[in-house]
Amino acid sequence: MRHIISILLENEAGALSRVSGLFSARAFNIESLTVAPTEDPSLSRMTIVSVGSDDVIEQITKQLNKLIEVVKVVDLSEAAHIERELMLVKVRATGKDREEMKRIADIFRGRIIDVTESTYVIELTGNNAKLDAFLDAIDRTLILETVRTGVCGIGRGDRILKV
Amino acid sequence: MVLTGAEILIRCLQEEKVEFVFGYPGGSVLYIYDEMFKQDKFKHVLVRHEQAAVHAADAYSRSSQKIGVCLVTSGPGVTNAVTGIATAYMDSIPLVVITGQVPTAYIGQDAFQECDTVGITRPCVKHNFLVKDVKDLATTIKKAFYLAKTGRPGPVLVDIPKDVTNHKCEFSYPKSVTMRSYNPVTKGHTGQIKKAVQLLLEAKRPMIYAGGGVILSDAAELLKKLVKALGFPITNTLMGLGGYPGTDPQFLGMLGMHGTVEANMAMQHCDVLLAIGARFDDRVIGSPDHFAEQPRKIIHIDIDPSSISKRVKVDVPIVGGVSEVLEDLMKQLELAEAKPDAKALADWWQQIAEWRAKDCLKYKQGSKLIMPQFVIQKLYEVTGGNAFVSSDVGQHQMWAAQYYKFDKPRRWINSGGLGTMGFGLPAAMGVHFANPKATVACVTGEASIQMCIQELSTCKQYRLPIKIINLNNRYLGMVRQWQEMFHGNRYAESYIDALPDFVKLAEAYGHVGMQITKPEDVEPALRRAFTEHKNDLVFMDFITDQTANVFPMVAAGKGLSQMILAEDL
Ligand SMILES: Cc1ncc(C[n+]2csc(CCOP(=O)(O)OP(=O)(O)O)c2C)c(N)n1
């Protein structure tokens, strides 16, 4: 099963490599990893998407908790949560493709944030599936480049991850 | 008071009541050595290889419950130390490892003797630090000692660039540390402990399986009380030996790959298993699938939640320090109205007696070749079972574990987790520094001893009267045993050719050497070594039967009840 693990950790040099090193040393899977400081600059918030059986995910959370710099760990997918990912896609946009590209971007609530004579950069946020669907909807041969941030997530309502 | 980084470090070590620092100097730690030279509150022990510094600090800790401290230089000093650090990490031994680093401005420039110490050691330390500012030094050292010893213990490394040891700042040693991200649980959950007591009292075929956690948590006395109160059988892991008295009738011997029939069978066939400070290691329970074939209820006490339900699913997890939890468990047991089921227990002990009757550790000592088991048995008799015994890795290690009955904790010093050849001799040195009056023996093989043989020189310098028991079978014995059993007798590179004359070698280092070739000389030679040569290091080279194998044996990946016994072959 796919799980979204949220981690609050000390914003210290090396903390990221402790987490990524743990995943490779113990052969845990990482689909994506995002990290940035929080409103309290001494803390970072990390979101890891991993696929594994319940036993494996249990080990992952326990092993993460064991890292000295990790303050808190939650498996967001255990309860109601929201996940988002940001994608930037550079596409070839010439002739009649320009109109078509704009139309599809609108349908997906994407925004064109850079325009040249022959290209667009489209910004899109959503969950994984939505971003994948957008890529499927446009003509693949027109894609020049895609960049995705990886998933970040947050619990709904009163579920709060804080020190 | 304004001090340099080097002065601060020395003051911190003094504040921590460090007695010995095991180390080896080099460019990046010269300010530190200079300051150390000017003080006499603690001593420095100069080893001959950094690996030995870490093993010695490690065994100092294992044999004394204090924190071991070592100090090495940057680059090759660190890489040499890595084996020692990984060894301590696998066995959860509290160490503080101080490493020199190139000056901060040179970091990342491929400077002379630079290596990414924090990166290289990250996977084999509990935690590590790079101190970039002298203002952080004292708190970092305080944290290092705190982290090493609390929770699940382990080595903590502090990397200090050379310029930091020469920069100055105001010094005050923090009285305590709090870290919002580190709050290990020590007290077990009362509800879980009650459940455990209930299960134990309902058990028909109970079994207790205790590991190194008992020793690390200084819980041997409590464990004995509990086992006596319950009347249950108990086994120890390789790391747990001495955590329960080896000569007690309720003790079934060690379990695992080379465990006794009674311990392994009771483990496999029990209906309630109480696991204490042990981690269901592959060398201990064999295949988890086979282990699961006989359903049983499992209670698991461990300070590290990630050790629980890692290889084997447990029914009653109890996270906490072994001594804290056992204390609460005893209290709950005393409050409980029920008593263990005497009738069921009697039947269970009857079954165990049948397994015991197999006498699986028997061997024959003939008149020609010395059997290695015989040497250990005699070592046990001659030392009255009171020696500290360090060991290397291989067959000799298993025989020492099987035939030396440890009644007390912290007497059996071996690299159980990493299985590091070369550990034995430097470990014996560390034991000696922690217990200067004790009898210390190092059980080794002719291959293992050569991995840190240079330490004979350290032993000379510090007059360490260690007795080296070299079970010399001219083979990488454990490798040869696997090749004989699983690789069609093809002894690829396991014969050790061109062995040195160990007697002369010992003499060259200024020690006493003896070679023993006949069974009847074993005991007299041991007696001479431990009496006449009490104050000398004696290298005892026992020429043993080359074909001897360690039994019982559970082949890798098999289950605990699938043992091969000596008589099967
Ligand atoms: C550093 C290291 N290298 C290799 C091994 C693999 N190994 C395990 S036991 C063994 C043989 C040890 O031979 P010896 O010290 O003579 O002991 P014996 O088994 O003969 O008693 C080897 C090579 C190891 N455990 N450690």
Question: Of A9, A63, A71, which has the smallest distance from its Cβ to B306's Cβ?
Answer: A63
Question: Do A14 and B180 count as a contact with CB atoms less than 8 A apart?
Answer: no
Inspect the interface and report whether the beta carbons of A62 and B130 lie closer than 8 Å: no
Q: Measured from the CB, is residue B420 less than 6 Å from ligand 1?
A: yes
Nearest CA in chain B to A71: B181
Distance from CA of A19 to the nearest CA of B (A): 11
User: Which pLDDT score, from 0 to 100, does residue B567 have?
Assistant: 82
- Neighbour count for residue B504 (Cβ, 10 Å): 12
**Nearest-10 Cα torsion for B132, B134, B140, B142:** 170
Place of tokens 């040569």: B533
B182 touches chain A (CB under 8 A): yes
Partner residue facing B310 (CB), from A25, A59, A71: A59
The angle subtended at Cα B265 by Cα B261 and Cα B267, nearest 5°, is 120
Residues of chain B in contact with residue A163, where contact means CB-CB under 8 angstroms, are: 180
DSSP character string of B488-526: TT--TT-B--S---HHHHHHHTTSEEEEE-SHHHHHHHH
Position A41 scores a pLDDT of: 97
pLDDT number for residue B38: 97
Q: How far is the CA of B528 from the centre of ligand 1 (A)?
A: 29
Facing A66 at nearest CB: one of B118, B304, B309: B304
Task: Pick out chain B residues at pLDDT < 70.
Answer: 569
pLDDT at B234: 98
Here the ipTM equals 0.94
Ligand 1 centroid to Cα of residue B417, in Å, is 14
pLDDT at B377: 98
| B383 within 8 A of B530, measured Cβ to Cβ | yes
pTM for the whole structure: 0.97
Single-letter residue type at B412: W
DSSP string for residues in B48-81: SSHHHHHHHHHHHHHTTSSPEEEEE-STHHHHHH
Q: How far is CA B373 from CA B405, B504, B566, in A?
A: 13, 26, 13
Residue B552, preceding peptide bond in cis (omega within 30° of 0): yes
| Mean pLDDT on A26-55 | 96
Query: Could you report the per-residue pLDDT of B103-119, keeping only the tens digit for each?
Result: 999 999 999 999 999 99
What integer is the mean pLDDT of A60-75?
Answer: 97
CB A163 to CB B180 under 8 A?
A: yes
Q: Which residues contact B318 (CB under 8 A, 6 or more apart)?
A: B188, B189, B192, B193, B196, B299, B300, B301, B302, B325
Contacts of B130 in chain A (CB under 8 A): 13-14
Distance CA A124, CA B325 (A): 53
pLDDT tens-place string over residues B451-485: 999 999 999 999 999 999 999 999 999 999 999 99
Alpha-carbon distance values, B154 to B69, B85, B277, B320 (Å): 12, 9, 15, 16
pLDDT of B3 reads 98
Is B87's C-beta closer than 6 angstroms to any atom of ligand 1?
Answer: no
Amino acid at B292: A
Tell me, what DSSP letter sits at residue B467?
E
- pLDDT score, position B326: 98
B442 Cβ closer than 6 Å to some ligand 1 atom: no
B75-85 per-residue burial string, b: 16 or more CB within 10 A, e: under 16: bebbbbbbbbb
Ligand 1 touching residue B125 (CB < 6 A): no
B310 interfacial to chain A (CB closer than 8 Å) = yes
pLDDT for res B173? 96
**CB contact, 8 Å: B309 with chain A?**
yes
Active site residues of B: 50, 112-113, 162, 478
